């Protein structure tokens, strides 16, 4: 029995894995247009949250559900960075995100793929 060539096998696996990742241009092209985006501080207490919550809602031009996920941990004064990704368990054409108990960011940047897709500069305070 002959020993295989582990380097060749590893190179083949790496090439196959790279073939599955679409180029950044394809990801950007797949990002739906943002129809509206808003952010607000919800100060109404609920049974699950007693602290104010930052809520972000984005309506996109798509019949599929999308989701927002936080990217990194912003430093004070930095914009909050969220990533718009396809899928999730929300309503078609809507992506939302919520967090409680932290400082309100000055702005919110929404990325799709590696590209800045939309920016929210006004965060309202709902009572």
Residue 96 is assigned to a structural domain of this protein = yes
Q: In whole angstroms, what is the distance from residue 93 CA to residue 86 CA?
A: 10
- 114 assigned to some structural domain: yes
SS3 18: helix
Give the Cβ contact number of residue 52 at 10 Å.
19
For the chain, counts of helices (H) and of strands (E): 2, 8
Q: Which residue has the tokens 């718009």?
A: 84
Q: pLDDT of 82-122, one tens digit each?
A: 999 999 887 899 999 999 877 889 999 999 988 999 999 99
Structural domains of the chain, count: 1
Taking the alpha carbons of 5, 23, 114, 90 in that order, is the dihedral positive or negative? negative
The range of the structural domain enclosing residue 62 comes to: 23-126
The pLDDT, as a whole number, for residue 6 is: 53
Backbone angles phi, psi at 51, to 5 degrees: -95, 155
* Residue 45 belongs to some domain of the structure: yes
């Amino acid at each position: 029995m002959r020993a295989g060539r582990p380097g060749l096998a590893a190179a083949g696996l790496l090439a196959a894995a790279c073939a599955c990742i679409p180029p950044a241009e394809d990801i950007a092209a797949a990002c739906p247009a943002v129809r509206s985006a808003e952010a607000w501080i919800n100060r109404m207490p609920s049974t699950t949250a007693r602290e104010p919550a930052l809520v972000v809602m984005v309506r996109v031009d798509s019949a599929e559900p999308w989701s927002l996920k936080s990217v990194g941990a912003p430093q004070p004064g930095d914009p909050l960075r969220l990533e718009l990704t396809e899928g999730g368990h929300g309503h078609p054409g809507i992506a939302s995100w919520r967090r409680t108990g932290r400082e309100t960011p000055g702005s919110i940047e929404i990325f799709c793929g590696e590209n800045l897709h939309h920016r929210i500069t006004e965060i309202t305070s709902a009572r």
